[in-house]
Amino acid sequence: MNKQKIAGIATGVVLLGGIIGWITTAPYVGNTGLSRTPGVILGGTDTPAPSDLSTLGERGRLLMKLAGFPPMVNYLTYAGTPEGVITATRPDGGYWARRVREGTGDGWLRIGDATYAMRATEVVGDARLPLLALYGGRPLDMESTGPEPLRDWEVFVWTAR
């Protein structure tokens, strides 16, 4: 074998090892169990969603995975209400929000060790504002007017499917 072929095989092995390592560990990186790096493994125990989704907690962090390809897992902040789980994102054309709009919105939410089969629906217009107040934990008139005020964010409500 020539040196170029050996270098190609070695590069392929290193890349494959890196991909397998990422798939099997992300997003579970670090001692805290939290990472900003998306992964592909959601984990948790499949659990039927409760009829009152506010029992999942008033506010917190969850892992979200959308159906389809690529199978990306992301961390989101949420607010639980009796009717659904509220998530929001900056109005920056984010990838997961685009996927919800372009597909069915089917996915899974992992809160603690429980994983729930859910469907996301975008809420638009002024109907977003009371949901954003719940999500932010404060009235929108009390927020700062930074470059991305919360009142401009995109809102999604997740319900059991």
Q: Report which DSSP code applies to 48.
A: P
Contacts of 53 (CB under 8 A, 6+ apart): 80, 81, 82, 83, 84, 85, 158, 159, 160
Q: What is the pLDDT of residues 70-90, one digit of tens each?
A: 878 888 889 999 989 999 998
CA dihedral 33, 38, 43, 46 (to 10 degrees): 120
- The whole-number pLDDT of residue 109 equals 94
Distances (CA, A) of 32 to 27, 35, 78: 11, 8, 19
With a cut of 60, say whether residue 143 has pLDDT above it.
no
CA pair distance 72, 67, nearest whole angstrom: 9
With a cut of 50, say whether residue 32 has pLDDT above it.
no
pTM of the model: 0.74
30 pLDDT band, cuts 50/70/90, is very low
Helix ranges (DSSP H) in the chain: 3-25, 95-102, 128-136
User: The tokens 């690529």 sit on which residue?
Assistant: 70
Report, as an integer, the average pLDDT of 93-110.
89
What is the distance in angstroms between the CA of the first residue and the CA of the last residue of the chain? Answer: 56
Report, as an integer, the average pLDDT of 56-74.
86
